[in-house]
Amino acid sequence: MRIDVVTLFPDFVKQVTRWGITARAAEQGLLELVAWNPRLFTSDRHRTVDDRPYGGGPGMVIKAEPLQAAIRTARAADPRPVTVVYLSPQGRPLDQARVARYAAGARLVLLCGRYEGIDERVVEAEVDEEVSIGDYVLSGGELPAMVLVDAVARLLPGALGDARSAREDSFVTGLLDYPHYTRPESVEGRAVPKVLVGGDHRAIARWQRKQALGRSWLRRPELLDRARLDAEDRRLLEEFVEEYRNGCSDSGAAES
């Protein structure tokens, strides 16, 4: 997969392929990340990329022409069909389904804003999807673009050591993940839940499902409204709720 990022801070964005899974995906040739600086697409002596907003108001707006020129150059650099995504707090929320859709494609162009935003005509003319990584405001789209690159890269076939990791992720199943433990069996008096060391694989799978349901109920109840639960799931969740109310839920307690 090829991802082009249009950003005033190309060196910053390229850091995302320096460590971990994304670095490995890039080394293996699964992911190619190319950054384009709109400043190099200006024609004035001062290389101006921003200007005051029409209608007044605080801050500066990134100009249309250098952005448009950078996006068009990125588009033309590869013949495969591309989705142009603008990262902004006004976008639709980034979720795992959207990440999976992007990972199934061959190309993305990510557009990063700065200052108060970008000239809206660029969005009209060039952008396919406007996407937000959450209801908070960052100083630019670079970190959101890096978040998106990371989430997409780990879904590329071969990027993860064990493909089960991606299949069992939080949200892939529509629920939060269950808690994980590794050796030693006791850490400062806290024992691993007994069932996990008993070797009964059916019991383990049941416990993990129950924890995933229970955590989702505690922390993200709206996920349960959307998830398709069968009769066994409902039974497990009832058990979890009852144990939780009795104060003996066999898992790390959820913070509020």
Q: Does 19 bind ligand ADE (CB under 6 A)?
A: no
CB 151 within 8 A of CB 143: no
**Beta bridge partner(s), residue 117:** 61
Q: Does 138 bind ligand ADE (CB under 6 A)?
A: yes
Q: Are β-strands 61-62 and 117-118 bridged in parallel, bridged antiparallel, or unpaired?
A: parallel
Residue whose CB is less far from ligand ADE, 31 or 110: 110
- Reading the block at residue 56, the tokens are 């007044």
Residue whose CB is less far from ligand ADE, 137 or 253: 137
Which positions ≥6 away from 136 have C-beta within 8 Å? Answer: 89
Among 17, 132, 208, 211, binds ligand ADE (CB under 6 A): 132
Q: Does 144 bind ligand ADE (CB under 6 A)?
A: yes
Among 10, 38, 141, 214, binds ligand ADE (CB under 6 A): 141
Residues 56, 123, 49, CA angle at the centre, nearest 5°?
Answer: 55
Residue whose CB is less far from ligand ADE, 83 or 173: 83
Q: Any catalytic annotation for residue 45?
A: no
Q: Any catalytic annotation for residue 188?
A: no
Measured CA to CA, the distance from residue 218 to residue 215 in angstroms comes to 5
Residues 223, 225, 231, CA angle at the centre, nearest 5°?
Answer: 105
Handedness of CA 83, 89, 91, 97 (dihedral sign): positive
What spatial distance separates the first Cα and last Cα of the chain, rounded to whole Å? 39
Q: Any catalytic annotation for residue 89?
A: yes
Q: Of residues 53, 78, 89, 150, which has the active-site annotation?
A: 89
User: Among residues 163, 156, 148, which one has the least CA distance to residue 88?
Assistant: 148
Q: Of residues 130, 169, 239, 243, which has the active-site annotation?
A: 169
Q: Any catalytic annotation for residue 119?
A: no
Within 71-130, which residues bind ligand ADE (CB under 6 A)?
87-89
Residue whose CB is less far from ligand ADE, 88 or 211: 88
Q: Return the residue matching tokens 């416990």.
A: 207
Q: Does 133 bind ligand ADE (CB under 6 A)?
A: yes
Residue whose CB is less far from ligand ADE, 135 or 255: 135
- From 28-36, 95-103, 136-144, 194-202, give the range in contact with ligand ADE by CB under 6 A: 136-144
Which positions ≥6 away from 64 have C-beta within 8 Å? Answer: 118, 119, 121, 122
Q: Does 237 bind ligand ADE (CB under 6 A)?
A: no
Q: Smallest gap, in angstroms, from Cβ of residue 159 to ligand ADE?
A: 23
User: Among residues 216, 221, 210, which one has the least CA distance to residue 249?
Assistant: 210
**Beta bridge partner(s), residue 186:** 191
Among 137, 231, 248, 253, binds ligand ADE (CB under 6 A): 137
Q: Of residues 24, 114, 154, 215, which has the active-site annotation?
A: 154
Catalytic residues: 89, 116, 154, 169
Task: Kindly list the residues in this chain that would bind ligand ADE in the complex (CB under 6 A).
Answer: 87-89, 132-134, 136-138, 141, 144
